[in-house]
Amino acid sequence: MRSVTYSMGMSLDGYIVGPDGSFDWTPRDDEVFRFATDQIREVGVHLLGRRLYEAMLYWESADQDPSLDDSRLEWAAIWNALPKVVFSRSLSAVQGNARLASGGLAEEIERLRAEPAEGNIAIGGATLATEAAALGLIDEYRPRVYPVLVGGGIPYFPQRERRVDLELVETRTFHSRVVYLRYRVAR
């Protein structure tokens, strides 16, 4: 069965964006970027909320940006080919290799897990991840922890009133002091 993974960068105090909505504390780091590219190769379908979908629209035409290096062009090609499902109440259409979700999150994940496809089901965006976590649908948490405290913002980890035990599967420290953690939900 396909695993559902949640992977994003976060500050050491647990936020994916700071109080002002920025994430300028995630500096350009080619080593971390190559790692993220390798991770996206393992994904068979990516589930996104509206805000992340809109932020990622840049990559739909990134191959036209003459300032991008080969590694970012490679990432854009992988991202654009990747099937995406967008959860939104306000969008009526999406672009590229994306479709609007036709049902709820649990139903969509159940359908995707039943398909004979390869690759993980990745969740992107804290709001969507919070809903998936509350439903017990996330199999792995994969944060990249940046060495900064931002003091508030949108949290990586959902705030809920139930305990979730995790098993550490993998760690990696990059030259930039970013730490990757991979935890499997203990079931």
pLDDT interval class at 132 (50, 70, 90): very high
Q: What is the mean pLDDT of residues 139-162?
A: 90
Measured distance CA(151)–CA(157) in Å, rounded: 15
Fold of 4-185: Dihydrofolate Reductase, subunit A (3.40.430)
Whether pLDDT at 158 is above 80: no
What are the strands, taking DSSP E only, across 7-153? 9-11, 15-17, 43-49, 84-87, 98-100, 120-124, 140-141, 144-146
Ranked by mean pLDDT, the top range of 20-24, 64-68, 107-111 is 107-111
CA distances (Å), 1 to each of 48, 113, 121, 123, in order? 20, 6, 10, 16
Q: For residue 132, what is the enclosing H or E element?
A: helix 126-134
pLDDT interval class at 6 (50, 70, 90): very high
* b/e code 150-169 from CB counts within 10 Å (16+ = b): beebbbbbbeeeeeeeeeee
pLDDT number for residue 142: 97
pLDDT number for residue 99: 97
pLDDT number for residue 23: 84
By mean pLDDT, which of 14-18, 82-86, 155-159 is the weakest? 155-159
Q: What is the mean pLDDT of residues 23-36?
A: 90
- The pair phi, psi for residue 76, each rounded to 5°, is -60, -40
pLDDT number for residue 1: 82
